[in-house]
Structure 1
Amino acid sequence: MAFLELTDLEKTFGANRVVKAFSLAIEKGEFVSLLGPSGCGKTTVLRMVAGFEAPTSGTIRIDGHDVGDQRANQRNIGMMFQAYALFPNMTVADNVAFGLRVKGVSRSERDARVAEMLQLIGLPDLGARFPFQLSGGQQQRVALARALAPRPRVLLLDEPLSALDAKVRVSLRNEIREIQRELGITTIFVTHDQEEAMSISDRIVVMNGGIAEQAGAPFEIYNKPSTRFVAGFVGTLNMLEARVVAPEAGRVTVAGQALDLAQAIPAAEGASVTLALRPEAISLGRAEGREVVLPATIDEVHFLGSVIRIRARVEGSVVALDTFNRPDQPPPPVGSAAEISFAAVDAILLPA
């Protein structure tokens, strides 16, 4: 039995179904990200787990117990918000101790726990400061310490890094993951940032329109998307139109070039299907192991230092690919004829 089980969760606001038949089982100590565009229902799921919203239907179980009738303060869940939500009139130490004080923990135990938490987040000497005296990254560390101080069973993170600049975000997300692993706490992380979710999650749940489109490890979500939405939302994707030649054999043609996919095609002979390719699966020019070679025209060239980003046109479709910068080999000029190549095994057949 999973440690945290969400079964057929539904949430309706008036006539609007925000979350639809959402089910998810999370193991103890697992780090799971809910990833999706704004309005897809991911924060609503988080708020139902926290107890801030009551499900219209469905059940939430923690460690085998149904918590549907429990209020937020009875569930022993830590919450870290997008806005830091620190008390401006309290010191850092008092902010971290707030949940412990509400629980009636003794002063000596509170002080010891606060010291432990400040050490954990790397701010052992800042307990006497007020939030306005801290940087944004430091404030988020304090918010994390406050959420962890009461030793919650589950930690919920609602886009906690979105207000920080890019460099601090990368540093802090890695720190959050290290602390989560050290404590072994079951965690749900809500984000719309694909790189964030891919880099720190054990599993990702991609949400769209209130439903879970796909759940899996980052490698699986990226390389084996099960729906057209997941394929397009996670990472950069190139689309190529193909014509079915032999459905059972998985044979199609793209720009007059035949290729065999590693699967049967659920479409009739002569039907049009869409193949997807990640940029890293495409080479400029002919490359070893990439047997499909297509003529192309260079549309755009962007020099990014170590990488050159190229957009090429193939029979009306535009594909993006990256090549490493080589001082002895200048990038192709815009408008020039070229070839692209890829391995047939890397082509993803998108569902209709």
Structure 2
Amino acid sequence: MAFLEISNLQKDYAGNRVVENFNLAVEQGEFVSFLGPSGCGKTTVLRMVAGFETPSAGLIRIDGKDVVNLKPNQRNIGMVFQAYALFPNMTVAQNLAFGLKVAGKSKAEIEATVKEMLALIKLEALGQRYPFQLSGGQQQRVALARALAVKPKLLLLDEPLSALDAKIRVSLREEIRAIQRKLQITTIFVTHDQEEALSMSDRIVVMHQGKADQLGTPFEIYNQPKTRFVASFVGTINVLEGKVLDAPAGRFSLYGAELNLGRSLGEVKTGDIVALALRPEAASLGTTVGKPAQLTGIVQDVNFLGSVIRVRVKVGETSLSLDSFNQAAVAPPKAGDTVMVSFAPEELLVLAD
């Protein structure tokens, strides 16, 4: 039995369904991210798990116990919000001690736990400071430690890094993941940032319009997207349209070129028009060994991104993005150049929708 079980979860607001038939099983110690755009339902699911929202239908079990009818303080959950929600009139140490006092812990136990939490977040010297005397990153670390101080069974993180600048976000997400691994606490992390989800998670739930479009490891989500939405939302993707010539054999026509995937195209039929996804790094300019599929196009623009150069090429009525490593000795093409785009047919993914 999974540590956290969510079954057929639904939530309606004034007749509008914002979460529909959501199912998820999370194992003990697993780090799972809910990834999706604003309004997709990810925070609503998190709030239902926390007890701040009541499901319209469905079941939530934590460690085998049905918690749907329990209040938030009865679920043994730690939660960290986007807004740090620290008590401004309390020091860092007092903020960390607050939940422990409410739980009726002894003075000695409170002092020991506060000391442990300050060491965990590497703020041992700042225990007597007030929140306004801390940086944003430090405040968020205190909020995390306060949630962990009460030894929760489940940790919920609702976009905790979105208010921070880029460099601090990268540093803090590494710290959060290291702490989570050290404590082996089951964690649900809500974010709209794909890089956060890909770098931190054991598994990712990509949400779209109140539903889980795909669940998988970061490798699976990025390399094997199942729908057009997942393919376009996670990373940069080229979505092409091909006509199926022989579905069982994997043969199709793409902008006049006949290609063979070398595998069945699944449930599609011969004659169907299918959506095919190709990552920018899978395609190359010119003729390349191991990439027999070739399309001719015209360079629309070239973007220098430091270590990577992104070239956009128009093939037929479609624009393709190609990524290649910057090489000082090799000049990139110019807008208006006619070029050959090559790739391996097996790099193409057939999208379910």
Taking the aligned partners of 1:7 and 1:137, their CA distance within structure 2 comes to: 35
267-276 or 133-142, larger mean C-alpha shift: 267-276
Question: Which residue of structure 2 aligns with residue 119 of structure 1?
Answer: 119
Taking the aligned partners of 1:226 and 1:64, their CA distance within structure 2 comes to: 31
Taking the aligned partners of 1:44 and 1:287, their CA distance within structure 2 comes to: 48
Matches within 5 A, 1:214-293: 214-265=214-265, 266-293=267-294
TM-fit CA distance, 1:304: 2.2
Taking the aligned partners of 1:248 and 1:112, their CA distance within structure 2 comes to: 65
TM-fit CA distance, 1:64: 0.7
Is 1:38 equivalent to 2:43 in the alignment? no
Write out per-residue CA displacement over residues 256-308 of structure 1, whole angstroms, 9 at most, x where no aligned residue. 22111243234443432221100111111111211101111110011222221
Write out per-residue CA displacement over residues 295-325 of structure 1, whole angstroms, 9 at most, x where no aligned residue. 1111001122222111111111101111222
Question: Which residue of structure 2 aligns with residue 194 of structure 1?
Answer: 194
Write out per-residue CA displacement over residues 63-94 of structure 1, whole angstroms, 9 at most, x where no aligned residue. 11111221101111000000000011000001
Q: Secondary structure at the match of 1:125?
A: helix
TM-score after normalising by structure 2: 0.97
Write out per-residue CA displacement over residues 13-48 of structure 1, whole angstroms, 9 at most, x where no aligned residue. 111111111111000000000011111111011111
Taking the aligned partners of 2:183 and 2:312, their CA distance within structure 1 comes to: 45
237-246 or 35-44, larger mean C-alpha shift: 237-246
Q: Output the amino acid matched with 1:317.
A: T
Unaligned runs of 5+ in 1: none
Taking the aligned partners of 1:52 and 1:267, their CA distance within structure 2 comes to: 43
TM-fit CA distance, 1:243: 1.9
TM-fit CA distance, 1:138: 0.3
Q: Output the amino acid matched with 2:317.
A: G
With over 3 angstroms needed to count, the CA separation of the structure-2 counterparts of 1:63 and 1:268, relative to structure 1, is: closer
Question: Which residue of structure 2 aligns with residue 212 of structure 1?
Answer: 212
Q: Secondary structure at the match of 2:58?
A: strand
Write out per-residue CA displacement over residues 129-181 of structure 1, whole angstroms, 9 at most, x where no aligned residue. 00000000000000000000000000000000000000000000010000000
Matches within 5 A, 1:125-144: 125-144=125-144
Taking the aligned partners of 1:63 and 1:210, their CA distance within structure 2 comes to: 25
TM-fit CA distance, 1:231: 1.4
98-107 or 174-183, larger mean C-alpha shift: 98-107
Matches within 5 A, 1:159-170: 159-170=159-170
TM-score after normalising by structure 1: 0.98
Q: Secondary structure at the match of 2:124?
A: coil
Taking the aligned partners of 2:22 and 2:306, their CA distance within structure 1 comes to: 44
Write out per-residue CA displacement over residues 316-338 of structure 1, whole angstroms, 9 at most, x where no aligned residue. 11011112222222111110101
Could you list the structure 1 runs, at least 4 aligned residues long, displaced by more than 6 angstroms after superposition: none
Question: Which residue of structure 1 aligns with residue 68 of structure 2?
Answer: 68
Q: Secondary structure at the match of 2:167?
A: helix
Taking the aligned partners of 1:18 and 1:243, their CA distance within structure 2 comes to: 35
Is 1:324 equivalent to 2:325 in the alignment? yes
Write out per-residue CA displacement over residues 176-223 of structure 1, whole angstroms, 9 at most, x where no aligned residue. 000000000000000000111010100000111111111111111111
Taking the aligned partners of 1:268 and 1:49, their CA distance within structure 2 comes to: 42
Write out per-residue CA displacement over residues 86-126 of structure 1, whole angstroms, 9 at most, x where no aligned residue. 01100000111111111011111101100100100010110
Aligned length: 352
Is 1:18 equivalent to 2:18 in the alignment? yes
Unaligned runs of 5+ in 2: none
Q: Output the amino acid matched with 1:242.
A: G
Is 1:100 equivalent to 2:100 in the alignment? yes
Question: Which residue of structure 2 aligns with residue 56 of structure 1?
Answer: 56
With over 3 angstroms needed to count, the CA separation of the structure-2 counterparts of 1:220 and 1:74, relative to structure 1, is: same
Q: Secondary structure at the match of 1:47?
A: helix
Taking the aligned partners of 1:120 and 1:151, their CA distance within structure 2 comes to: 13
